[in-house]
A = this chain, B = another copy of it.
Amino acid sequence: MSWSGWGDPARAQALSPELAQLVHGALRIQRPGTPVPAIASLRLPALRLPAAALARLRELLGPTHVRTDPEARIRHACGRSTPDLLRLRANALEAAPDAVVEPGTHEQVLELLRACASHRIAVVPFGGGTSVVGGLMPRADRFSATVALDLRRLAALVELDEVSRVATLEPGLRGPEAEALLAARGYTLGHFPQSFEYATIGGFAATRSSGQASAGYGRFDERVVRLRVATPRGTIVAGEAPRSAAGPDLRQLLLGSEGAFGVITAVSLELSPLPAVRIYDGWRFDGFADGLEAVRRLAQDGPVPTVLRLSDEVETALDLARPEQIGRGGAAGGCLAITGFEGTAADVARRRESVTAILREAGARPEPDAGPAWERGRYSAPYLRDALLDAGALVETLESAAFWSGVPRLYEAVRGALVDELTAQGTPPVVLGHVSHVYPTGASLYFTVACAQLDDPLTQWRRAKAAACDAILVAGGTITHHHGVGSDHLPWYERQAGELAIGALAAVKRQLDPDGILNPGVLLPQ
């Protein structure tokens, strides 16, 4: 992963001339963004790790698995939100971990947490480093130091129970690594978020990730049947059966705990057979309202495609679903939808035929290139962001979800808040929206915002994000559908969940992590 942007540096690319022209024209960009500095020039806070603590960590893990070199610290200093990237470009890292530790076993994680508790060292669990909500911020004010707990060495397929169709995976496996291990045995997790190529199994669980094929395979949290978590006070294993009436679902208390309750060291997941067939179709609706109605019909009455997405008019016009086409397409108007089908040939044929009939009846017109184009570009959008930041655009995404009856209001509220706030700042934005996750009772909304960068793009974005979050709360949507709370959403999460619920979660944290060393300031207030 690039230390300063998204993904494989070899795949980075500049804006096409068409897109550059479009962006400059539409956003009225005056000058390029701050370029990425040389990594060697990056300023880091002084190392604070006490010598005794460092010695103890080295004794526990071996010296090669306790890194304090600047590059390791920089690579674990933040996630991949636009504010994170802007801070790196501005050479303005506010904090960095004092060390990066790499435990190799569950028992080492346990010992590490005990050692850190006794030395008052904060611990930031680190998987793929792809958080876009400030979930990886080393906050050390109350602590003697901070370490990033990198889970890369916990990367095994521990068990494959083919009778139950359950795989037990370690948390450090990245998406493609996990899929390769399972594909060799004929299975898939069916979990393909945009961050798939870099994010990890543990991160998917800790943040309740949802993938692009969630309509068919479900969310990641819905496929977790057992979890093992290491806490400063010991181990919790939850999940003796697929479902149970034995009290509150402890798995659902640990999923989404974002490293604040413990470190997930094993995840057992429901598997699906590797699909024989994968087909993605494109459709064009006259407008977003028509498309929403049709998508809801499929989500409620079926058959449900494996992938079901609907772009609004602006996203369709910019054709973000086909990044290589950006600035070239969109003349046809309306709203683009993608339906994808994965499974056996017979199952795919049956569902596809029925969905095709329903969408035609709903007024959708086939868009033959759109499906394959979406598939080619499905993991590419984050690369585009780096090029846009270079060009002087501010670009970021955010997401929410609501019950169906509230989706149109939520859509208008968030769009309106972003347009109003950024226009008031003198940088009228382009706001793109889509529905990418559907349920019988509701759907997610995902927004991409682009505008010209001001001199202080961090403050510029913080104000726009706050306006959008306020709007989500007023409109009654969830503050995050699949990005997580992190530290960025925390003030709104507290307002939405309410004092009593936050108090209950804080009580759980005190019980499992009495010294509060785990991911301080993430999920819960410090």
Contact = CB atoms under 8 A, between A and B. Distances in A.
A250 B501 contact: yes
B503 A245 contact: no
Interface string A265-309: 000001001000000000000000000000010001100000000
Contacts of A231: 500
Interface string A468-510: 0000000011111111110001000100111111011111101
Contacts of A163: 296, 403-405
Interface stretch (A112-120, A136-144, A236-244): A236-244
A449 interface: no
A505 B247 contact: yes
A328 to B, nearest CB: 34
A240 B165 contact: no
A505 B249 CA distance: 11
Contacts of A439: 242-243
A401 B242 contact: yes
Interface string A226-259: 0000010111111011111111111011111110
A21 to B, nearest CB: 37
A76 to B, nearest CB: 22
Interface in A410-436: none
Interface stretch (A34-42, A207-215, A355-363): A207-215
Given A247-B497, A248-B253, A161 B236 contact: no
A500 B512 contact: yes
A401 B241 contact: yes
Q: How many copies does the complex hold?
A: 2
B254 A248 contact: yes
Interface string A391-413: 00000000011111110000000
A526 interface: no
Contact of A255 (B249, B296, B500): B249
A507 B514 CA distance: 12
A353 to B, nearest CB: 12
A293 to B, nearest CB: 10
B500 A233 contact: yes
Interface in A2-17: none
A439 B510 CA distance: 35
A244 B480 contact: yes
A70 interface: no
Contact of A258 (B219, B247, B476, B497): B247
A424 to B, nearest CB: 27
A252 B246 contact: no
A111 to B, nearest CB: 16
A176 interface: no
Nearest to A479: B246
A523 interface: yes
A115 to B, nearest CB: 19
A440 interface: yes
Contacts of A442: 164, 225, 241-242
Given A166-B403, A241-B442, A247-B485, 13 more contacts: A164-B404, A166-B441, A222-B243, A236-B504, A238-B497, A241-B481, A245-B256, A245-B478, A245-B481, A247-B505, A249-B252, A270-B441, A504-B511
Interface of A: 161, 163-166, 207-210, 219, 221-222, 225, 231, 233-238, 240-250, 252-258, 270, 273, 296, 300-301, 400-406, 437, 439-444, 476-485, 489, 493, 496-501, 503-508, 510-512, 523
11 contacts: A164-B403, A164-B406, A164-B442, A225-B441, A234-B499, A242-B440, A243-B437, A246-B479, A246-B485, A249-B253, A500-B512
